[in-house]
Amino acid sequence: MAWFKKTRKPMASSTADKPSRVPEGLWVKCPDCAQLIYNKDLEKNLSVCPKCAHHFRISAAERLRALLDGAWTEHFADLSSNDPLRFTDTKPYRDRLRTTRKNTGVNDAVLIATGRLEGIEVVVAAMEYSFIGGSMGVVVGEKITRAIEIALDRNLPVIIVSCSGGARMMEGVLSLMQMAKVSAALARLDRARLPFISVLTDPTTGGVTASFAMLGDLNIAEPKALIGFAGPRVIEQTIRQKLPAGFQRSEFLIEHGMLDLVVDRRDMKAAIARALRFMRAEPAPVEQPLAAAAAATPDA
Amino acid sequence: MPPDTLEFEEPITVLLKEIEALSMLPQTPERQQSIDGLYRRIESIRGEIYASLTPWQRVLVARHPQRPTVLDYVERLFTEFTEISGDRRFADDHAIVAGFARYKDEPVLVVGHHKGSGDTKQKVYRNFGYARPEGYRKALRAMKLAEKFRRPVFAFIDTPAAYPGVESEERGISEAIAFNLREMAALDTPVVVIVHGEGGSGGALGIAIGDRILMHEFAIYSVIPPEGCAAILWRDSNRKVEAAEALKLTAPDLLGFGIIDEIVPEPTGGAHTNHELAAALLDTALERALALVSSMAPELRLDARYQKFRAMGNIGISEP
Ligand SMILES: [Zn+2]
């Protein structure tokens, strides 16, 4: 699979998280429990450590594969940033974009797809962390807005899987405004009574958290994901203290009332499907309550 | 007392010192003449300096401690201001002010960040304008009040950022800002936004969605403070001058990008040099903006607001 072989060199994230992406090679060492895992086994397990359930970071394409029933249609893949600010730091943003496009094989930090999730037609936006830290610039904002507009047009639920360090600095205030733009589209989705499931993965920070990631009808996080507005280092500088263990992790957020669910990646698809069936009043296709199943079996 | 001078206003500082020295001597008509002459020189030097400020210099002007606050403008342009408090959830955040007043005799609602003016005690009381979740929730509650009674909203923007502290995260600063973005997009009443000081990232945007966006001549509006940007991208916060340049955070830049609708002129030397004149200049722009957005049919206004933000950033996209 081409997406898996590509060299990925994610930009250093602003957070102090461990490198968590599946490395190249046959064997992978889990950063949490040090278990050696055969690459193919890890892949089959949706990149979750079979021993300790550490969630490795996955690409947007892997995410779609994990959530959707089979083939999907990708949309707006050819949108790309034209470097509106002509931004240069230690190197020109233009060069950074070119290199990143080549290394990741995608044009910006989000993939938009329509497909089926347990048979339910959905629009999914999956963020690609290896593209400049999954940062939200004008292309990410526009593509997610268009995804929401597809949903409005075709009466579909929206799922956004966040994995992002926040707004993209190299597009300045234009990237800041994407928070407003996507949120405005979500206001329309909300008024149209269409479902929006926000899935928060490690990391979801800054302007992404402070806009669409927190606006789900349900906000569902993967375990131990870093989720916050300000980066931990910025907060430490402000309060001049070390932050407590687990601060800004999924389990901290759900205790503080900001998340509906923390769900293991291997159960995510089923959890979203259940939520969508509640929201869309779709019949439960496979599972039946235990009592009903027992009653239906004559010799039970 | 003349306002504090900034680092790039050195020639003005020198003249002010001369004036101070002359003023200590016994007054004579000749001496008074020299003092008046020095003041005229200051004015002309100020004009020259402020005609070509660099982006970083604008950052310093926008952050000037004597820059007018939302309440300075309210005091000069509005009557019957009644401040209201609290988010009805947790607390009252003094970093965001909310209240109702009259503008040109019309009942209106005002919200705005406040950094605190005067002494350190005042600044601490306002948390230096760093709002917590309860500030954003108070602001939205006030704006919903305006919607209910069909009153227009003026949102004054001046904050370094939302407060980056433990309790902000615990109480959901992200959710508070996000929810405001969504609800302000659909708030069914005219909203005029005035970025008059520091438009600091999501903390600014959290109360800055509206039909007409005004920005002061020397205000700034940025995705990140130049210091923070320099620390991350240059790995050296001292490169803030270059970062300020690269971020394109000035009012003319934002007008060019279509992020703001209009630039509000300031007194020569910046709003902090003359609060009265700054207020008078804002008054002209406010009156026009309010008339414009109030004249629109509600449905059209909401759609125009959506299209306005919908289009933001599209100049940065290539689509084959
Ligand atoms: Zn493990």
The nearest CA of chain A is from the CA of B186 a distance in Å of 7
Could you read off the pLDDT of A28-60 as tens digits, one per residue? Answer: 999 999 999 999 999 999 999 999 999 999 999
Q: Could you tell me if B139 and B207 are in contact, meaning their C-beta atoms sit under 8 angstroms apart?
A: yes
Rounded to whole angstroms, the Cα distance separating B199 from B162 reads: 11
Which CATH number covers residue A80? 3.90.226.10
Residue A47 Cα, ligand 1 centroid: separation in angstroms? 10
A234–B contact, CB cutoff 8 A: yes
Q: Could you tell me if B115 and B69 are in contact, meaning their C-beta atoms sit under 8 angstroms apart?
A: yes
Six token digits for residue A16:
């102090």
On the CB side of B231, CA atoms within 13 Å amount to 9
The answer to whether residue A167 sits within a structural domain is yes
How far is C-alpha A134 from the geometric centre of its chain's CA atoms? Answer: 9
Mark whether B140 and B245 lie in a shared domain: yes
Pick from A238, A240, A216, A237: nearest CA to A227: A216
The answer to whether residue A130 sits within a structural domain is yes
The answer to whether residue B2 sits within a structural domain is no
**Looking at the predicted structure, is the pLDDT value of residue B258 above 50?**
yes
**Cβ-defined contact of B232 to A238 (cutoff 8 Å):** no
**Cβ-defined contact of A256 to B309 (cutoff 8 Å):** no
Write B7-13 long-range contacts (CB < 8 A, 24+): B7/B60, B8/B49, B8/B53, B8/B57, B8/B60, B9/B46, B9/B49, B11/B45, B11/B49, B12/B42, B12/B45, B12/B46, B12/B49
**Looking at the predicted structure, is the pLDDT value of residue A237 above 50?**
yes
pLDDT at residue A2, rounded to an integer: 35
**Cβ-defined contact of B166 to A239 (cutoff 8 Å):** yes
The answer to whether residue A215 sits within a structural domain is yes
Rounded to whole angstroms, the Cα distance separating A136 from B224 reads: 13
With 0-12 CB in 10 A as exposed, 13-18 as middle and 19+ as buried, what is A35? middle
Which pLDDT band holds residue A280 (cuts at 50, 70, 90)?
confident
Mark whether B19 and B128 lie in a shared domain: no
Six token digits for residue A283:
């019949």
The neighbour count for residue B73, using CB atoms within 10 Å, is 23
**Looking at the predicted structure, is the pLDDT value of residue A3 above 70?**
no
**Cβ-defined contact of A235 to B164 (cutoff 8 Å):** yes
B165, B175, B312 ranked by CB distance to A214: nearest: B175
Positions of E strands within A14-82: 27-29, 36-38, 73-75, 80-81
Six token digits for residue B99:
């209240």
Structural element, H or E, at residue A201: strand A196-205
Rounded to whole angstroms, the Cα distance separating B156 from B196 reads: 7
Mark whether B19 and B161 lie in a shared domain: no
**Cβ-defined contact of B166 to A81 (cutoff 8 Å):** no
Residue A36 Cα, ligand 1 centroid: separation in angstroms? 8
In chain B, positions 226-285, which contact chain A (CB-CB < 8 Å)? 228-229, 232-234, 242-243, 246-249, 253-254, 257, 259
Mark whether B158 and B30 lie in a shared domain: no
In sequence order, which residues have a C-beta less than 8 Å from that of residue A99 and are 6 or more positions away? none
Mark whether B150 and B189 lie in a shared domain: yes
**Looking at the predicted structure, is the pLDDT value of residue B20 above 80?**
yes
Mark whether B205 and B228 lie in a shared domain: yes
In sequence order, which residues have a C-beta less than 8 Å from that of residue A34 and are 6 or more positions away? none
The answer to whether residue B274 sits within a structural domain is yes
Helices (H), B7-132: 10-24, 29-51, 55-62, 70-77, 120-125
In whole angstroms, how far apart are CA A205 and each of A100, A192, A235, B166? 21, 28, 13, 14
Q: What is the pTM of this model?
A: 0.93
Q: Which residues of A219-238 are buried (b: 16+ CB within 10 A; e: fewer)?
A: bbbbbbbbbbbbbbebbbeb
Instruction: Tell me the mean pLDDT in the region B164-187.
Output: 97
Domain count across chain A: 1
Rounded to whole angstroms, the Cα distance separating A126 from B220 reads: 33
Mark whether B98 and B28 lie in a shared domain: no
Rounded to whole angstroms, the Cα distance separating B219 from B64 reads: 10
- Helix, strand, coil: what percent of chain A each, to 5? 40, 20, 40
Residue A48 Cα, ligand 1 centroid: separation in angstroms? 8
Which CATH number covers residue B195? 3.90.226.10
Residue A225 Cα, ligand 1 centroid: separation in angstroms? 15
Measured between beta carbons, which residues in chain B are less than 8 angstroms from residue A184? 181-182, 185-186, 209, 305-306, 309-310
Q: What angle do CA B132, B134, B136 make, to 5 degrees?
A: 80
Mark whether B21 and B84 lie in a shared domain: no
The answer to whether residue A229 sits within a structural domain is yes
In whole angstroms, how far apart are CA B25 and each of A213, B19, B21, B207? 65, 10, 7, 51
**Phi/psi-derived region of residue A166, left when phi > 0, alpha when psi is between -120 and 50, beta in every other case:** left
The answer to whether residue B63 sits within a structural domain is yes
Which pLDDT band holds residue A288 (cuts at 50, 70, 90)?
low
**Cβ-defined contact of B182 to A184 (cutoff 8 Å):** yes
Rounded to whole angstroms, the Cα distance separating B187 from B172 reads: 22
B24–A contact, CB cutoff 8 A: no
A14, A78, A177 ranked by CB distance to B232: nearest: A14
Mark whether B91 and B172 lie in a shared domain: yes
Mark whether B36 and B77 lie in a shared domain: no
Rounded to whole angstroms, the Cα distance separating B181 from B172 reads: 14
**Cβ-defined contact of A214 to B169 (cutoff 8 Å):** no
pLDDT at residue A286, rounded to an integer: 56
When the pLDDT of each residue in chain B is averaged and rounded to a whole number, the result is 96
Residue A31 Cα, ligand 1 centroid: separation in angstroms? 7
The sign one gets for the Cα dihedral A143, A149, A155, A157 is positive
Domain count across chain B: 2
**Looking at the predicted structure, is the pLDDT value of residue A11 above 80?**
no
Six token digits for residue B248:
């394109």
A177, A185, A235 ranked by CB distance to B312: nearest: A177
Q: What are phi and psi of A91, to 5 degrees?
A: -145, 160
A221–B contact, CB cutoff 8 A: no
Please give the residue range of the domain that contains residue A277: 58-282
Instruction: Tell me the mean pLDDT in the region A139-145.
Output: 98
What amino acid is encoded at B3 in this protein? P
The answer to whether residue A263 sits within a structural domain is yes
**Cβ-defined contact of A229 to B177 (cutoff 8 Å):** yes
In sequence order, which residues have a C-beta less than 8 Å from that of residue A109 and are 6 or more positions away? A127, A128, A129, A131, A132, A133, A134, A135, A136, A137, A139, A140, A164, A168
Helices (H), B149-273: 166-170, 173-185, 201-205, 226-229, 240-247, 251-257
The answer to whether residue B311 sits within a structural domain is yes
In sequence order, which residues have a C-beta less than 8 Å from that of residue B238 and are 6 or more positions away? B230
If you compute the radius of gyration of chain B from its CA atoms, what whole number of angstroms results?
Answer: 21
In chain A, positions 251-270, which contact chain B (CB-CB < 8 Å)? 256-258
pLDDT at residue B4, rounded to an integer: 86
Please give the residue range of the domain that contains residue B46: 7-52
How far is C-alpha A236 from the geometric centre of its chain's CA atoms? Answer: 26
Interface predicted TM-score (ipTM) of this complex, two decimals:
0.96
Mark whether B214 and B88 lie in a shared domain: yes
Q: Could you tell me if A177 and B313 are in contact, meaning their C-beta atoms sit under 8 angstroms apart?
A: yes
The neighbour count for residue B33, using CB atoms within 10 Å, is 10
Least confident of A92-96, A281-285, B44-48, B212-216: A281-285
Of A177 and A239, more confident: A177
Residue A27 Cα, ligand 1 centroid: separation in angstroms? 13
Which pLDDT band holds residue B118 (cuts at 50, 70, 90)?
confident
Q: Which residues of B10-24 are buried (b: 16+ CB within 10 A; e: fewer)?
A: eebeebbeebeeeee
Instruction: Tell me the mean pLDDT in the region A239-244.
Output: 87
Residue in chain A closest to B177 (alpha carbons) equals: A210
**Cβ-defined contact of A256 to B164 (cutoff 8 Å):** no
Instruction: Tell me the mean pLDDT in the region A167-187.
Output: 98
Could you read off the pLDDT of A154-164 as tens digits, one per residue? Answer: 999 999 999 99
pLDDT at residue A6, rounded to an integer: 35
Mark whether B230 and B207 lie in a shared domain: yes
Residue of A13, A176, A226, A251 for testing the chain B interface, max B β-carbons within 10 Å: A176
